[in-house]
């Protein structure tokens, strides 16, 4: 019988294990195979406090050495089954089963990719899914963003602080992002929008040198008028500064130094389906998230004089132990990191959430758990 099992070996899980190990709770961490989360696929990390520059895999290696020094046991295997209906909880790998009084889920999330021939080959060499992480490397360069939601707008605006020009490529003729975010993008002089187009390949040998675009439904490329929300037809552009695309039937070559994907993330939470409460995108709902949503709903209800209760929130509210921010809808099961965080998705924020979950578990084990 384990006191606590942590599922996931990225920053959140490792941070949680460090605090639990120092609390003499002897945590067992399943880091997965391959272990380490998204940082293992990241090149230079320059925005993690304490390191001016470090490779993602090196940062994970330091994390692991640190937590093992204090007694965390790490198993580089995937959990294949979980049973959270009854306490103690049971978990299984391909060859063994485990039981635990408490569980911390830190399985993370993965960026959605276009699955292009050269996309993954050039990942970390100009292809990225995080402008907050990598925008600095594209100072005074030309980049492209793919997407049409709020995340794409945010990534685009972040990149304009560094890049000399940002192309925003969308396969439709209008964005699904909020109006205020669209207007900010339309008004930014560094942004040029390429409508009704999709990226079909990434060009370059050792780094991104361009993109191959294909028009959707044979529509002429458009761009937003500067400072306006209206659209205007764009002719073939003549220089790198205005647009480096050359038209060849239905395909265009766009010369850029970087490509940022902003088409969404998928949390790695399928294994917990129908066992803990999720939102519509698969992110695990914690007490902190639930409390925020309930507060937002009450404010909105008051503002617009809404009298109908939000039945979903009210229905699941009683499942949560609101004394612990990281608790899920199952008593004794906690969650942290990118499988919960659909907003920030940073290594630093994941670490903080992991620490919070560890402190919650420590308190919960001491106050709530019966002796087995």
Q: Are 134 and 144 in contact (CB under 8 A)?
A: no
Enumerate the H helices of the chain as residue ranges. 11-22, 56-69, 131-134, 150-160, 179-186, 287-304, 311-317, 347-367
Shortest CA distance to 27 belongs to which of 98, 79, 92? 98
Question: In degrees rounded to 5, what are phi and psi of residue 175?
Answer: -85, 160
Q: Give the separation between CA 201 and CA 210, rounded to whole angstroms.
A: 9
- Give the contacts of 132 (CB within 8 A, at least 6 positions apart): 47, 158, 346
Residue-wise burial string across 201-212, b where 16 or more C-beta atoms lie within 10 A, e elsewhere: bbbbeeebebbb
Query: Which residues partner with 165 through β-bridges?
Result: 142
Q: Give the separation between CA 224 and CA 231, rounded to whole angstroms.
A: 5
SS3 label, residue 152? helix
Q: Are 18 and 114 in contact (CB under 8 A)?
A: no
Q: Which residues carry out catalysis?
A: 130, 133-134
């Amino acid at each position: 019988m384990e006191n606590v099992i942590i599922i996931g070996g990225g920053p959140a899980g490792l941070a949680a294990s460090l605090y639990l190990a120092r609390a003499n709770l002897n945590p067992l961490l399943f880091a997965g195979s391959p272990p380490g989360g998204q940082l293992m696929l990241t090149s230079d990390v320059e925005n993690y406090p304490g390191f001016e520059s470090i490779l993602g895999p090196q940062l994970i290696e330091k994390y692991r050495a640190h937590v093992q020094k204090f007694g965390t046991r790490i198993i580089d295997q995937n959990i294949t089954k979980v049973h959270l209906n009854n306490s103690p909880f049971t978990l299984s790998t391909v060859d063994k089963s485990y039981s635990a009084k408490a569980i911390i889920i830190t399985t993370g999330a993965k960026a959605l990719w276009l699955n292009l021939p050269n996309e993954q080959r050039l990942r970390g060499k100009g292809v990225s899914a995080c402008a907050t992480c990598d925008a600095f490397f594209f100072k005074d360069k030309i980049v492209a963003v793919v997407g049409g939601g709020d995340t794409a707008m945010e990534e685009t605006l972040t990149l304009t602080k560094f890049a000399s020009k940002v192309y925003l490529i969308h396969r439709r003729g209008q964005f699904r992002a909020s109006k205020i975010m669209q207007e900010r993008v339309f008004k930014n002089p560094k942004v040029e929008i390429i409508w009704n187009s999709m990226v079909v390949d990434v060009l370059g040998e050792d780094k991104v040198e361009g993109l191959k675009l294909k028009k959707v439904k044979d529509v002429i490329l458009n761009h937003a008028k500067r400072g306006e929300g209206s659209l205007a037809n764009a002719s073939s552009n003549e220089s790198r500064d205005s647009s480096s695309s050359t038209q060849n039937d239905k395909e265009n070559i766009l010369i850029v130094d970087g490509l940022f994907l902003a088409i969404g993330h998928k949390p790695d939470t399928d294994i917990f389906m129908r066992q803990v409460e999720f939102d519509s995108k698969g992110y695990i709902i914690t007490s902190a998230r639930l409390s925020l949503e309930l507060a937002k709903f009450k404010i909105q209800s008051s503002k617009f004089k809404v009298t109908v209760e939000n039945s979903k929130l009210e229905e699941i509210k009683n499942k949560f132990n609101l004394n612990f921010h990281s608790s899920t809808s199952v008593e004794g099961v906690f969650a942290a990191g990118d499988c919960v965080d659909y907003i920030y998705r940073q290594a630093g924020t994941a670490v903080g959430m992991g620490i919070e979950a560890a402190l919650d578990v420590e308190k919960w084990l001491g106050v709530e758990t019966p002796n087995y």
